[in-house]
Structure formats: structure tokens, C-alpha cells
């Protein structure tokens, strides 16, 4: 049965779970990279796959870090119970240098917004890759380690000054992270997914046939578009 938590405990739970997930992504990044690089002779496709996995894990660390900062700045002490505010402010004072380090990567949030969360366009509407935009974010494993370290110290210092609440949220963190967030929608079987893809393939082929009299829509072009999905279908 899920334990009822007060607002401070929910904020602590949020911070702790975000730190734990960021740390898990970072550890996975270290281990997966080491395994592949040491045990396999990588060809070009392997390098692309490894780079993709690395990017995905780094991006998850960035996402969790930005969310951690939001919770720390905007919720903890601001929207938690007033009776805890003085101690919360003490916690924030103790780890203010760690919080400052997280702020030192000036482009982290902008990169999160433009490159990860949205459509690769900046506030001016420019595509960030086409315009060769640059962002001040962590670029190395040691920098990521520093980021994780700062979140850990902040979360653990909070726990140290709120020991009763800390132990309350530990069990809640384990319970909820083990189950994760589960979709309430029906899960499709592999065969259902295959059938759905093949039906969509037929529909787009029919549309190309219908539009074949329109300028620039040729049978060769249509076939190129249709062939693009073969890799996805073959994987399934």
C-alpha cells in the first residue's frame, strides 16, 4: 500500500528519484561504452549504434538534471510546508556551491529545450544543426560525473537534515521506481504491430497511385519512399 507523503516528502521523493535515474543513466553510459570498446572490434555501423546509445544516455542525464534543478529551485522550500522552510533554507545554504556548479553550464537548459525536448529550432526559429549552434553543456565523462556528484550531495544533504522524512521516501522511491510509469493503454502484440505497419504501407502506396497525376509525384519517387520503411519492417 502506497504511503501518504506530505509536500516536503514528495519534493524529496522527486529529487531523490531524479538523481537516482540520472546516476543510473550515467553508470549505464560508462559500462556500455567500456564493454563495446573493449570486447568488440567496431565497424562503422557499430560506431553509429554506440554513438546513438551514448547520446541517448547523455541526453537522459541532461533531462533529469534540468528537472532536478526545477524541483530544487521552484518547489523545495517554495511550495512545501512552511514549518520546514527554515531547515530547507539551511540545506540550500550548505550546498549552495554545488547548486552553483549546476548553473555553470549556461547552455544546459537551452540545449535541453532546443535539441532534446522540442523541434531542433531556437527561439528565433532557426534549426540549431543547420545553423551550427553551440551550447555550453557538459561534453566529457568527468563533467557528467561532476554533475551527478553535485546532485547526489544536494539530495543527501537534504536527507541528512530531514532524516525522518528521508527514510519515509526511500521505500517510496524504491516502490515507485521499480514499477516506473506504466501506460494504461492496450499493449499491441508483435503480430498486431506488423499487420498495422503493412496496412499503413498499403495505404501510402494507394495514395501515391491516386496522386500519380500530380506534378513531381512519379512512380520512381513513390518507390523510393516506400522502400524507406523496409528496414523497420525487417527488424520486426
Decide: residue 22, CB within 10 A, 0-12 exposed, 13-18 middle, 19+ buried: buried
Q: What is the pLDDT of residues 92-119, one digit of tens each?
A: 999 999 999 999 999 999 989 888 888 8
178 pLDDT band, cuts 50/70/90, is low
Domain ranges in the chain are 7-179, 190-235
pLDDT given for residue 32 in this prediction: 78
Which pLDDT does position 223 carry in this prediction? Answer: 58
Q: Which residues contact 19 (CB under 8 A, 6 or more apart)?
A: 64, 68, 148, 151, 152, 154, 155
Q: What is the pLDDT of residue 1?
A: 42
Tell me the sheet residues that pair with 127: 121
pTM of the model: 0.78
Indicate the pLDDT class of residue 199, thresholds 50, 70 and 90: confident
Q: Best-predicted range by mean pLDDT among 24-38, 69-83, 193-207?
A: 69-83
Q: Residue 121: beta bridge partners?
A: 127
Amino acid at each position: 500500500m502506497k504511503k501518504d507523503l506530505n509536500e516536503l516528502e514528495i519534493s524529496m521523493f522527486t529529487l531523490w528519484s531524479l538523481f537516482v535515474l540520472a546516476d543510473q543513466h550515467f553508470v549505464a553510459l560508462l559500462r556500455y561504452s567500456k564493454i563495446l570498446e573493449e570486447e568488440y572490434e567496431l565497424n562503422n555501423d557499430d560506431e553509429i549504434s554506440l554513438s546513438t546509445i551514448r547520446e541517448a544516455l547523455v541526453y537522459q542525464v541532461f533531462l533529469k538534471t534540468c528537472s532536478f534543478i526545477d524541483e530544487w529551485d521552484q518547489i523545495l522550500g517554495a511550495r512545501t510546508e512552511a514549518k520546514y522552510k527554515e531547515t530547507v533554507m539551511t540545506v540550500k545554504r550548505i550546498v549552495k556551491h554545488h547548486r552553483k556548479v549546476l548553473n555553470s553550464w549556461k547552455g544546459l537548459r537551452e540545449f535541453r529545450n532546443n535539441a532534446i525536448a522540442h523541434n531542433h529550432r531556437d527561439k528565433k526559429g532557426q534549426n540549431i544543426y543547420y545553423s551550427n549552434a553551440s551550447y555550453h553543456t557538459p561534453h566529457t565523462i568527468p563533467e557528467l560525473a561532476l554533475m551527478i556528484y553535485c546532485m547526489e550531495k544536494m539530495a543527501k544533504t537534504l536527507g541528512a537534515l530531514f532524516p525522518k522524512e528521508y527514510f519515509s521516501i526511500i521505500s517510496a522511491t524504491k516502490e515507485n521506481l521499480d514499477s516506473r510509469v506504466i501506460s494504461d493503454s492496450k499493449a499491441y502484440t508483435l503480430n498486431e504491430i506488423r499487420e498495422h505497419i503493412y496496412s499503413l504501407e498499403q495505404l501510402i502506396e494507394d495514395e501515391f497511385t491516386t496522386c500519380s497525376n500530380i506534378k513531381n509525384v512519379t512512380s520512381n519517387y513513390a518507390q523510393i519512399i516506400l522502400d524507406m520503411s523496409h528496414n523497420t519492417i525487417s527488424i520486426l
